[in-house]
Amino acid sequence: MPAYRPEEIEKKWQAHWKAHSTFRAQNHSDKPKYYVLDMFPYPSGAGLHVGHPLGYIASDIVSRFKRLQGFNVLHPMGFDSFGLPAEQYAIQTGQHPAITTEKNIDTYIKQLNSLGFSYDWSREVRTSEPGYYKWTQWIFLKLFNSWYNLDTDRAEPLTALTARFAESGSEGINAAGDADERQVFTAGQWALFSEQQKLAAVHPYRLAYQQDTYVNWCAGLGTVLSNDEVKDGLSERGGFPVERRLMPQWNLRITAYADRLLQGLDTIDWPDAVKEMQRNWIGKSIGAEVTFPVQGHDNAHIKVYTTRVDTIYGATFLVLAPEHELVDALTTPEQRAAVDEYIAATKRRSERDRMADTKTVSGVFTGAYALNPVNNEPVQIWLADYVLAGYGTGAVMAVPSGDQRDYVFAKHFGLPIPAISDAQKDLDQQADPTKEGHYINSGFINGLGYKEATAKLIAYLEEKGLGRGKVNYRLRDAIFGRQRYWGEPIPIYYKDGTAYGIAESDLPLVLPEIDEYKPTETGEPPLGRAQNWLYKGKYPYELSTMPGWAGSSWYYLRYMDPTNDARFVGEEAEQYWGTVDLYMGGAEHATGHLLYARFWYLFLKDLGLVSGNEPFQKLINQGMILGRSNFVYRLWHTWDTNDPNSDEHMELLPSIYVSKNIREALRDVTLDQTNNPAVIDFFNQVKEIEKSARLMYPDFNAKLKIHNVGGDGKASFSALHVDVNLVENDVLDLEQFRSSRDDYKSAAFVTEDGQFLCSWEVEKMSKSKFNVVNPDVLIGRYGADALRLYEMFLGPLEQYKPWNTNGISGVGGFLKKFWRLFHPEDGPLAVTDESATPAELKVLHRAIQKAQEDIEKFSFNTSVSLFMITVNELTALKCHKRAILEPLVLLVSPFAPHLAEELWQELGHAAGSISTASYPEFREEYLVEDTVTYPLAINGKVREQMQFAAAATAADIEAAVLASDFLAKHGEGKAAKKVIVVPGRMVNVVV
């Protein structure tokens, strides 16, 4: 046979696996089960890059290894196929998102198959298929028709709740959620309620409910965005302004499960970092809710939650979120303009930006005062964007002597910072949150310690009706609506303004055809464009769709039984496969998908529909493959025009991008430094850009306004990733950049001597960062087996790894060397049936032992090193023996399956049968040494070596050394005083 040709071998075996359904799993088997799951991908138009297969390769190695160990392995793949990118492409082109998605999935399947993954494609799911999202809608309806009973600590049907209403009214109902939102009524009143009144009373108990919620609203995209989709107050896609807006939204009451989600973390084998992220995200704390009356407003009061109620006498001001419902009523006329300006600025920042920015101190006084409930002293009421409306009560009791952020705020605005404990130190420099010492300046708790003071304060507040002890969670209910088209329709219709769930028999509620995929002219979501889209022909449907994480919260269950039309997963299939044994995916999903999936599973558990306690038993986060990213800097600016339709035509006016070195110079100087060369160059070019815009659109009378976001007189910029394929030696190809995206068409550039330089950094390789390397090219050049081995060889699976394409050639050379053990000098098969030597058996069984240990520890990089060492040793031994090479093929097969299949067949086995073979058995006796080489020393100085039988005793070794000429050669005529034998290590003769 000719030389090793991966392009031929790999296509041959990929076709064989597909034709013979080699990796199809059975839902009934006498074998033990093993469920390996990959986080399924969103099928973007760019396809896979070399960073994506890392986790897929690792999970495939485990899947193939487990089959060799005799397991019935479920290893499925599917697609998270709803999403914003497909919708935006549809808006731009008019092409239905389903067409784009189908095309992208075809590309992904081709790429995945080219890497030789052992997926059971008969179980493929796509979240955008009606047959799939029928069951996503079904689960939503179950949530809509359930409430959480805190007495039984589980979700129950609403019918159980309404039965209690009919029997005893709302009294004694202990349900998850905000009790203040719920009505109080008797059984008699309930009986007299109309249908609408009963539904209104029930709604605040539902696990899926509608409520006015603050969201990131992007008018330019016509939809709500997640925090991940907002950067510096602009949409990551398109750079459109984003503001915080109060909108009616569907929510899921994940907070009901907060405690169970915390407890479950102790039962699963997940990385500690991920579990800690979830604990922090859930954020359980024990404290008190305190009510501060507002001075001069009889019916207004502000609730705060604090874990340090013991510090209440040191509360010298309150801080409200700018979105707090009382802001408008509390703001005095003198402060109105300042407050309005501050609120407008806050709307342009995402919650994530506000939480992450710990350096900027900003706030505004409302002009109003609250009364401290323990001493009736007035405290100022301020607004600050570090307080979020959706967290806790949207208000903070600021104690500057005990909290550093409050301290910095108080210092900045000149607010008092009184000491409250005799143990506090250095309050002229920083806050001191100590719980030691005794309280001072603190009324009736003066002289008390922390525990005693806390208990006394809570008792006082509860007695006076001004507060209560409370367990709080940082976790918020999950917003479940998106004003988009390409998502699961929410199965809700409205009758007389009241929400109803559609009948389960009417599922799926299929996405209707519409003429455009953008919001209506009146601001409704895209589904508002659907003609005659009514339930039963007369009731309007909900126009929002579900978020992307809806379908991914339960897909692992559908893989178990993907063609079941009667149930989301068959009972027998679910009980057989149980929970996922190994889940492979990125750590970036720790507080999103992984948390939501656990929540849905616990809910389904409450309904008796799943049999486990947690969905994913073991989780591994593969590390990122890092790439070299390039950035362009977009100047913060707007265009003022006299065109009444300026918003409609604004995309015609250029966005301005500033070259790297000019931007870096502008970071260090203010724009009023007119004698600074960088400032002069910048303004000269900007004026030319403005002049060109005015000449091109004379009717606009366009004027450029440069924003100074930081308020320090310096220009401000947004750093945006740019496709590395448009950059050479950090110089941007301007024309290619303009043509790469529609929103770049009118881009203008502040350059350096005519060149536009990009900055760069090494970071995660991803399509969103435009720094990807296409695996198709590497497979065409080196083969899939080489790429698989190289990605594993880069380093430990869970660590970050820089990509270097040049390194793959070395792995390609190893595979050729492995091939030549079977085909010396690339000639015909030369495997013999000769008996193996002890040296050859030792090499083999050392590899068997180490490879199994490595795979079970997920240490795949050391496995690849082991194979290289093993092949080198067998090559040196000129080993071409079946007894050695056949087991070696099995060892290598999980890593390089195509080459292994080819050699397995050449060795006389049925085509494609390697997956049903057995993993080689390790036999320790082949590693036992017959002899041991001992260093021989005189007075601790090694002089030579001597071999002894492995079973030799210390006395035998001593006698043999003294009987040899060792002492005569090295002892300088001296007699031996003592011979020290360290078994298996060395011999030292003392003279």
Q: Annotated binding residues for ATP, as ranges?
A: 767
User: Residue 837, class by beta-carbon neighbours within 10 Å (0-12 exposed, 13-18 middle, 19+ buried)?
Assistant: middle
DSSP letter at 895 equals: T
SS3 128: coil
Q: Give the Cα separation of 359 and 710 in Å (integer).
A: 12
Q: Give the Cα separation of 58 and 859 in Å (integer).
A: 10
Q: Give the Cα separation of 868 and 861 in Å (integer).
A: 11
Q: Are 649 and 781 in contact (CB under 8 A)?
A: no
**Residue (of 773, 676, 759) closest to 718 by Cα position:** 759
Nearest-5° Cα angle at 407, 406 to 413 = 90
Q: Which regions of 463-538 does DSSP assign to beta strands (E)?
A: 467-473, 478-479, 492-495, 498-501, 534-535
The amino acid sitting at 733 is D
Query: Cβ–Cβ contacts within 10 Å for residue 866, how many?
Result: 19
SS3 391: coil
The amino acid sitting at 547 is P
**Which residues carry a binding-site annotation?**
767
Q: Are 48 and 111 in contact (CB under 8 A)?
A: yes
**Residue (of 218, 88, 96, 98) closest to 515 by Cα position:** 96
Q: Give the Cα separation of 184 and 438 in Å (integer).
A: 43
The amino acid sitting at 333 is P
Q: Which regions of 161-242 does DSSP assign to beta strands (E)?
A: 208-218, 223-225, 230-231, 234-235
**Residue (of 593, 589, 611, 590) closest to 602 by Cα position:** 611
Query: Cβ–Cβ contacts within 10 Å for residue 827, how many?
Result: 12
Q: Give the Cα separation of 398 and 390 in Å (integer).
A: 18
Q: Are 48 and 16 in contact (CB under 8 A)?
A: no
Q: What is the secondary structure of 73-118 as a DSSP string?
A: EE----B----HHHHHHHHHH---HHHHHHHHHHHHHHHHHHTT--
Phi/psi of residue 978, nearest 5 degrees = -160, 145
Strands 72-74 and 33-38: parallel
Strand (E) or helix (H) holding 977: none
Q: Are 689 and 657 in contact (CB under 8 A)?
A: no
Q: Give the Cα separation of 988 and 937 in Å (integer).
A: 5
| Phi-psi label, residue 621: left if phi above 0, alpha if psi -120 to 50, beta otherwise | beta
Q: What share of the chain is helix, strand, coil (3-state, %, to 5)?
A: 40, 20, 40
